[in-house]
Amino acid sequence: MMSRVRTACALVFVVLTATMSAQSAMVPDSNYTFHRTMVTMRDGVKLNTVWFVPKKQTGPLPILFVRTPYGVPGPNFWPSKAYAELHADGYIFAEQDIRGKYESEGTFVMQRPPRLVDAGGKAAIDESTDAYDSIDWLLKGVPANNGRVGMMGVSYPGWTAAMAMLDPHPALKAVSPQASPSDMWLGDDFHHNGAFRLSYGFEYAYMVENAKGGSQFEFENYDTYDWYLKLGALSNIQSKYLKDKHLPTWDDFQQHPNYDEFWQRQAMKSYLTRVNVPTLNVGGWWDQEDFYGPVTIYRELEKHDNKSLNSMVVGPWRHGSWRGGAGDKLGNVSFASATGEYFRAKIEAPFFAKYLKDKAVPAPAEATVFESGSNVWRTFTAWPPKEAVAKSLYFNANGALTFTAPTAAANAFDEYVSDPAHPVPYRHRPIEPTYYPKGSGWGVWLLEDQRFASDRPDVLHWETPVLTEDVTVAGDITAKLFVSTTGQDADFVVKLIDVYPEDNKPDFKMGGWQLMVANDVFRARFRESFEKPKPLVPGQVTPITIDLHTQSYKFQKGHRIQVQVQSSWFPIIDRNPQTWMPNIFEAKDSDYQKQTHRVWRTAGTASRVEIATVP
């Protein structure tokens, strides 16, 4: 059976759509006329499709098309601030409920894999064929279009835009997948390197699949850290709370703990084998849901881009936040300019105008990235930049972090006790429900001050002296750990951190702030194979490589660089029992045991974080 997993990745898009609908209800739009029809796909299924035509249209216009599982706008569509620059340029806007959602017919399949070549005749369908058939109808059914279509979308709609490129309609001339997921097990919404994203996954599954429909789980504690800790083993969710009720998503999580065919068929990577359409991939450095996705899509397409059609933009944003608002600040961190407005006006609008209207503007740079720290936009001819120089930040004695490797011959390590009964919270407590109606810290937790964790006895940290010159990171960041444990499994969380000076100017309140620049978690059972996990050998020093993804960031003179290592990140990541369980979803409360973990720093086992630097 195809996956039944529902994605949480487009929740920001849902909020945006709801906001637009609320605006239109209050202020009827006088600039557009509304149209709606059911468009028939090649297998006979009909999809609900709406489009909006500018009343002052004076000539043929291109169509901007969004395909969404979150519901299309109604007849009082109001040109949202989020699309102001595109409204000003002039387009026909079309949106469609994908099959099985809202007013559309058919069966919804989460991240439906592309149809097989030999799957059989005209009835074989996927998101690519649905996009093709829909574009074909729009060209014939919408008067006064110029014969060109662009596709875009944030999160799940970004994924449907990317899928439309696989076998594109000849009229599809420009595509911008934004914050699109790529792999729900390796790095996007529901897992990171096999570590299960507990609070996010459970709360979303309950919200969309419980019998009442659309209601949130009613926690007994305001601080969900307490609730998940009292819950105990993952298996208790079913036995204590869901009981005879079965959420399809939760069932899938329990039945597929490893990177098996179930997850691999959903992953986009293997399908991205050609670039036929100019593509603008967009992501945010602090995207709390889908940062892995857009970078991976760009890199996979780049392998096949022989016409320089593929480009990437990454800014200082959370999930989808570039779509509306100024983008000058995120949480307590200022970026000194309106980065969202800059992207929409200077990059996105010219991109579509070039390929849909023949406007005489340059193509986007290969890589346009916002360099936080210095707070400037930079462009590169490749990403990662070819001119980047590799350096390593080594863990040394007495908590020192240096660019020189350790020299100890043996018995050099730092250790801590990881106790599942007292896990490290992933953000400041209290931790509200992810979808708390009165506001949750979920959207900006990646920018929280990490001092709440750095002094815990189960969190190791190493730190440089005050920097005497800038260190500018541009490219990939990788943690290379050498670890041992008294147990048979462990998670390792690595955080690369910018430590602000105590007398930080001009914002004194940011004095000493510890800002995560890069981070991720790795479940050690998957160190040799994501498909076939194996236990750690107690006491044996074992190498663990953790992809901390990529960044453009300037550690400024006067700041310090810090690395933190820990073994829990709760409850965004489920607790590792640290004893061997083939399937952690089947663990009992008694299986969760405290263990001692060591991080080694000898000449032969030099734990470090590798970075790429540019002038």
Q: Strands, DSSP E only, in 382-501?
A: 389-395, 401-402, 413-418, 459-463, 471-485, 491-499
**pLDDT of res. 3:** 37
Which is nearest to 299 in space by CA: 314, 286, 316, 315?
314
**Residue 344, Cβ density class (10 Å: 0-12 exposed, 13-18 middle, ≥19 buried):** buried
**5 is a domain residue:** no
Q: Mean pLDDT of successive 10-residue segments in the chain (615 residues)?
A: 37 37 41 95 97 94 95 77 88 94 87 70 84 98 98 96 95 98 95 96 80 69 96 94 87 95 91 93 97 97 96 97 93 96 97 98 97 98 97 98 96 98 97 88 96 97 98 98 98 98 93 98 98 98 98 98 98 98 96 98 98 95
Could you tell me if residue 224 is inside a domain?
yes
Is 83 inside a domain boundary? yes
DSSP notation for 308-355? S-EEEEEES-STTGGGSS--SEETTEE-SS-HHHHIIIIIIHHHHHHH
Closest CA to 221 of 419, 438, 431, 450: 431
Phi, psi of 8 (to 5 degrees): -95, 0
Q: Is the residue at 159 inside a domain?
A: yes
3-class DSSP state of 296: helix
Query: Nearest Cα to 59, choosing from 140, 139, 144?
Result: 144
- State the total domains in the chain: 3
* Domain stops at, among 246, 264, 282: 264
Element spanning 224, H or E: helix 224-231
Residues 570, 514, single domain; the answer is: yes
Phi, psi of 292, deg, nearest 5: -55, -40
Closest CA to 552 of 425, 336, 380: 380
Query: Strand 191-192 and strand 195-196: pairing?
Result: antiparallel
Residue 94 shares a structural domain with residue 234: no
Considering the domain architecture, whether residues 27 and 98 belong to the same structural domain is answered as yes
Residues 139 and 93 in one domain: yes
Burial (0-12, 13-18, 19+ Cβ within 10 Å), 479? buried
Distance in angstroms (rounded) separating the CA atoms of residues 364 and 359: 13
Pair (161, 258) in one structural domain = no
Task: Note whether residue 447 is domain-resident.
Answer: yes
Query: What pLDDT is stored for residue 79 in this prediction?
Result: 63
Pair (540, 609) in one structural domain = yes
256 with 301, same domain: the answer is no
* pLDDT given for residue 25 in this prediction: 34
Note whether 602 and 274 are within 8 A (CB). no
Per 3-state DSSP, what percentage of the chain is helix, strand, and coil (rounded to 5)?
Answer: 25, 30, 45
- In this structure, is residue 6 part of a structural domain? no
* CATH number of the domain residue 440 falls in: 2.60.120.260
In a domain, 3, yes or no: no
Distances (CA, A) of 76 to 13, 19, 23, 417: 18, 12, 9, 58
User: Which residues are CB-neighbours of 303 under 8 A, at least 6 positions away?
Assistant: none
- Cα-Cα-Cα-Cα torsion 153, 154, 155, 159, nearest 10 degrees, comes to 20
Q: Supply the CATH number for residue 206's domain.
A: 1.10.3020.10
Among 380, 407, 433, where does a domain finish? 380
pTM of this structure: 0.93
CB 86 within 8 A of CB 151: no
Nearest to residue 364, comparing CAs of 323, 292, 308? Answer: 308
Name residue, tokens 């309950």.
Answer: 206
CA pair distance 213, 191, nearest whole angstrom = 24
Q: Are residues 500 and 451 in the same domain?
A: yes
**How many helical (H) and strand (E) elements, i.e. helices and strands, does the chain have?**
13, 25
337 with 246, same domain? no
Residue 126 belongs to a domain with what CATH number? 3.40.50.1820
Q: Which of 380, 404, 421 is the last residue of a domain?
A: 380
The answer to whether residue 418 sits within a structural domain is yes
Strands (E), 182-269: 191-192, 195-196
* Whether residues 356 and 257 fall in one domain: no
Tally Cβ neighbours within 10 Å of residue 39: 20
Residue 485: name the closest of 539, 562, 427 by CA: 539
Cβ pair 560, 375 in contact under 8 A = no
The contacts of residue 24 (CB under 8 Å, 6+ apart) are: 73, 74, 76, 77, 78
Of 521, 586, 589, the residue nearest 256 (C-alpha): 586
- Residue 232 in tokens: 């105990």
**Domain extent at residue 579:** 389-613
140 and 177 together in one domain: yes
Q: Which two tokens stand for residue 500?
A: 């602000």
Q: Do 285 and 161 lie in a common domain?
A: yes
